[in-house]
Amino acid sequence: LSFPITEKIHKEVLSIPLNSSLNASEIQHIITTLNNY
């Protein structure tokens, strides 16, 4: 099977983990990673 549109979107979309159960350390790690992106 070939899904060229899905593959293109997959290469262009940035998924950010969002969850109400993230602790402060995990949130800081996400912020730091995004700032370094």
* pTM as predicted: 0.61
The DSSP result for the chain, as a single string, is ---HHHHHHHHH-------TT--HHHHHHHHHHHHT-
Give the per-residue pLDDT at 37: 82
For 1-37, what is each residue's pLDDT tens digit?
A: 999 999 999 999 988 989 999 999 999 999 999 999 8
- Ordered by start, the domain boundaries in the chain are 4-35
Give the whole-angstrom CA distance, residue 36 versus residue 2.
33
